[in-house]
């Protein structure tokens, strides 16, 4: 309340002086002391520890990155373009806008996404913080969602739908439960401690699950659009890897992803059912041409 009174007590002259200092030309003072901005505002690289005004609505981009901000008090309620608050000292998103075009809060000291915007039309960047979960994240992200290089042990709270890429590599995840059910771009979960792919979205563009502790591909996406699929290069059964070395093209991998559950090629204990796998691939020969089977040692 004291903070709001401070802004209410600002005179037009003082606000005009601040706007002139930061090159803000098209501004309107509201009765509550907040300021609307028509266009972009750039107050980056100014060594700020707090925002200089209480902003209300900004039609363009709001850039306050590369400062020393510890709070977002005074931030706009709505931003038509990108809200850029990366490279600050933020430990909380309290005061963040509720609606933005894109939201960029990477390289801070965040331990929570509570108070994050509820509507994000573009990318949401929260990588390189200290997050352990994604509670508070927006439910729908119109671009990509990048939460890599954190301390995540769970994806609970993640958006339900991500139109672009979903990137959660370089964390401490053992499971993908809580991941978005719909991802329109790539799904990257490499460099974690995954022991299961349960929770993956059904369809993705590129899929990367390398450098984990996976011994099974159960739960993998049913369809991958990209020509290359990055699978674990260790821990998977040698018979499975030998087959992929001979038949590693996209159509074969997508066939495996699509039918592996129906043929039960992974047992309940996670072990590989080689006979079921061979039966599945023999039945695939009408659809997939030139399948080669590894020679078994006699």
Residue 123 lies in a domain: yes
Closest CA to 262 of 199, 205, 218: 218
Residue 10 lies in a domain: yes
Residue 152 lies in a domain: no
Mean pLDDT over residues 212-237, rounded?
89
Mean pLDDT over residues 89-102, rounded?
98
Residue 194 lies in a domain: no
Residue 183 lies in a domain: no
Write out pLDDT tens, residues 18-61. 999 999 999 999 999 999 999 999 999 999 999 999 999 999 99
Mean pLDDT over residues 102-123, rounded?
97
66 pLDDT above the threshold of 90: yes
Looking at the structure of the chain, the number of domains it has is 1
- 139 contacts: CB under 8 Å, gap ≥ 6: 118, 159, 160, 161
Residue 86 lies in a domain: yes
To the question of pTM greater than 0.85 for the whole model, the response is yes
The per-residue pLDDT for 298 is 46
* Average confidence score pLDDT of the chain: 93
Structure-model confidence comparison of residues 170 and 229, the more confident one:
170
With left for phi above 0 and alpha for psi between -120 and 50, is residue 190 left, alpha or beta? beta
10 pLDDT above the threshold of 80: no
Residue 135 CA: distances (Å) to CA of 10, 40, 86, 115, 141: 36, 30, 19, 10, 14
Residue 220 lies in a domain: no
Write out pLDDT tens, residues 177-192. 999 999 999 999 999 9
Range of the domain at 55: 1-130
């Amino acid at each position: 309340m004291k903070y709001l009174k401070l802004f209410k007590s600002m005179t037009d002259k003082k606000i005009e002086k601040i706007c002139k200092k930061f090159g803000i030309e098209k501004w309107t003072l509201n009765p509550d002391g907040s300021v609307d901005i028509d266009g972009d505002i750039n107050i980056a690289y100014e060594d700020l520890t707090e925002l200089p005004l209480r902003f209300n609505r900004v039609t363009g981009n709001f850039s306050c990155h590369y400062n020393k901000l510890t709070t977002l008090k005074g931030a706009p309620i709505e931003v038509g373009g990108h809200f850029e608050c990366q490279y600050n000292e933020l430990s909380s998103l309290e005061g963040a806008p509720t609606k933005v075009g894109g939201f960029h809060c990477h390289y801070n000291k965040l331990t929570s996404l509570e108070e994050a915007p509820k509507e994000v039309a573009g990318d949401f960047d929260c990588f390189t913080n200290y997050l352990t979960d994604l509670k508070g994240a927006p439910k729908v992200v119109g671009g990509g969602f990048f939460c890599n290089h954190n301390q995540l042990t769970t994806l609970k709270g993640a958006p339900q739908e991500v139109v672009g890429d979903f990137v959660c590599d370089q964390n401490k995840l053992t499971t993908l439960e809580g991941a978005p059910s719909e991802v329109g771009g790539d799904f990257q979960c490499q460099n974690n401690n995954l022991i299961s792919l349960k929770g993956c979205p059904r369809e993705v563009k590129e899929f990367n699950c390398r450098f984990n502790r996976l011994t099974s591909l159960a739960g993998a996406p049913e369809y991958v659009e990209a020509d290359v699929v990055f699978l674990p290069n260790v821990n998977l059964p040698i018979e499975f890897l030998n087959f992929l070395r001979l038949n590693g093209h996209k159509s074969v991998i997508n066939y495996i992803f699509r039918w592996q559950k129906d043929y039960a090629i992974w047992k309940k204990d996670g072990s590989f059912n080689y006979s079921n796998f061979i039966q599945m691939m023999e039945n695939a020969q009408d659809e997939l041409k030139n399948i080669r089977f590894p020679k078994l040692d006699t």
